[in-house]
Amino acid sequence: MNHWEVLGLPVQLALTPEEIEAAFRAASEGAHPDAGGEAGQFERLREAHDGLRDEYQRLEQWLRENDVAVAHSGAVSEEVGGMFGRVSEVLAGVDDWLGKGESVSSTLGKALWQKEGFAWKSRVEELLQEVNDWQERVTATFPKLEELARSGDFAEALRVRGELGFLRKWKAQLQAHYGKLWEGLV
């Protein structure tokens, strides 16, 4: 399914969330089952909306629309490798901290454990902010990727796709661990 076509948008990477929302609202007017539309039609619109809102999915489909084979290269930049190590360290630290909490029984031990938990919470928040900032920097290159594509050059788009894939995965993992931290602290 071509998400752009479903929402009546031109096939382009550089779309703002507001443009996607406006197109979704316009296309879904009367399509919702509560408004007399068909459930299948509304679900297609919702899928197209969600696919374009997710920058990784949007880039991946854009590459397919341009007949570019999407394959995993296995190579990562030094920046990605560095962040991978930091994210792995923090996720493992949070998991260890959660495991310790099961054996803490004294009031003092509980207080020290919670103090450590707030330190992990801060580290997760910092990394989430870094991931979000990095994701914004990467998506800001979408107009450049479209310009390169006009001359048939998709190498940078494929590299960016790899970065976005990691960023998306790390964001989900960090958010899940953030939730676990709050559960442990409450």
Task: Please say if the pLDDT value at position 78 is more than 70.
Answer: yes
pLDDT per residue over 60-69, tens digit each?
Answer: 999 999 999 8
* Separation of alpha carbons 2 and 62, rounded Å: 9
Task: Categorise residue 8: left if φ over 0, alpha if ψ from -120 to 50, beta otherwise.
Answer: left
pLDDT per residue over 105-145, tens digit each?
Answer: 999 999 999 999 999 999 999 999 999 999 999 999 999 99
Compute how many other C-beta atoms are within 10 angstroms of the C-beta atom of residue 8.
Answer: 11
Give the model's pLDDT for residue 40: 82
- Residue with the two structure tokens 């800001």: 140
- Residue with the two structure tokens 């397919």: 64
pLDDT per residue over 11-29, tens digit each?
Answer: 999 999 999 999 999 988 8
Cα angle 173, 51, 138 (rounded to 5 degrees) comes to 60
Q: Which residues contact 127 (CB under 8 A, 6 or more apart)?
A: 86, 87, 90, 170, 174
Give the model's pLDDT for residue 157: 94
pTM as predicted? 0.85
